[in-house]
């Protein structure tokens, strides 16, 4: 897996040796960042949930993000992320958190400009986790959520304060981009629409 663009363009990244970790393909990552660019999204603070190899967050750092927090519960994957950060010389602009997404979101957090979620495609709790992200301190009005998912997953146009901006599919992989359009506190009691 290689970095597509930015200061570390072409740099080869390690990938965890696990069948449970399926990195987002280069084609999908390229399409994702192209759509983010057309939407004017130029994040400074990035949160990479279910980080795996860290490839998406590292791509954001290569393209100019100032900071990225990587959240991954698998110890071997965390070691790979740390190796990738060291080899790209981004270790001083990032932190790796070996914990669950739920536990990380429960912490007192500063809001991010971009939250990336690339959970296992078979995860039955994706929509519920999106709702948790939307109600957490990790987001504010204007935060963008980029979600990797499989084509058969039906996602609502709006989940609490999150409104879908774009959805793209390439083969057996898709991504959807949402934006926080109202204060998360106000949306805490909001029902899911769709």
What pLDDT is attached to residue 21? 55
Q: Is residue 96 part of a domain?
A: yes
Q: Is residue 111 part of a domain?
A: yes
Query: For 191, what's the count of Cα atoms within 13 Å in the CB-facing half-sphere?
Result: 2
Q: For residue range 53-98, what is the model confidence (pLDDT) as tens digits?
A: 999 999 999 999 999 999 999 999 999 999 999 999 999 999 999 9
Instruction: Say how far residue 51 (Cα) sits from the centre of its chain.
Output: 7
For 94-140, the three-class secondary structure string (H helix, E strand, C coil) is EEEECCCHHHHHCCCCCCCCEEEECCCCCCCCHHHHHHHHHCCCCCC
Say how far apart CA 128 and CA 65 lie, in whole Å: 28
103 φ, ψ to 5°?
-65, -40
Contact, 33 vs 58, CB < 8 A?
no
31 φ, ψ to 5°?
-65, -40
Higher pLDDT, 27 or 36: 36
Domain span at residue 127 reads 28-136+146-187
Q: For residue range 153-172, what is the model confidence (pLDDT) as tens digits?
A: 889 999 999 999 999 998 88
Q: Write down the pTM of the prediction.
A: 0.90
Q: Is residue 20 part of a domain?
A: no
What pLDDT is attached to residue 77? 94
Q: State how many domains the chain has.
A: 1
Contact, 187 vs 134, CB < 8 A?
yes
CATH code of the domain containing 102: 3.40.50.150
Q: For residue range 115-149, what is the model confidence (pLDDT) as tens digits?
A: 999 998 767 889 999 999 999 999 999 999 999 99
Q: Is residue 6 part of a domain?
A: no
Q: Are strands 158-159 and 144-149 parallel, antiparallel or unpaired?
A: unpaired
């Amino acid at each position: 897996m290689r970095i597509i663009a930015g200061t570390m363009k072409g740099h080869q990244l390690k990938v965890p040796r696990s069948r449970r970790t399926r990195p987002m393909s280069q084609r999908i990552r390229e399409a994702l960042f192209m759509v983010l660019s057309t939407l004017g999204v130029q994040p400074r603070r990035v949160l990479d949930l279910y980080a795996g190899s860290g490839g998406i967050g590292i791509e954001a750092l290569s393209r100019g993000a100032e900071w990225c927090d990587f959240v991954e519960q698998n110890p071997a994957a965390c070691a790979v992320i740390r190796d990738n950060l060291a080899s790209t010389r981004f270790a001083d602009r990032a932190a790796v958190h070996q914990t669950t997404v739920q536990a990380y979101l429960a912490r007192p957090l500063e809001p991010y400009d971009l939250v990336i979620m690339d959970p296992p495609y078979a995860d039955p709790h994706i929509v519920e986790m999106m709702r948790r992200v939307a109600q957490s301190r990790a987001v504010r009005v204007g935060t963008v959520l980029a979600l990797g998912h499989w084509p058969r997953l039906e996602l609502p146009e709006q989940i609490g304060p999150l409104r879908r901006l774009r959805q793209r599919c390439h083969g057996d992989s898709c991504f959807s981009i949402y934006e926080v359009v109202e204060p998360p506190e106000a949306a805490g009691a909001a029902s899911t629409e769709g």
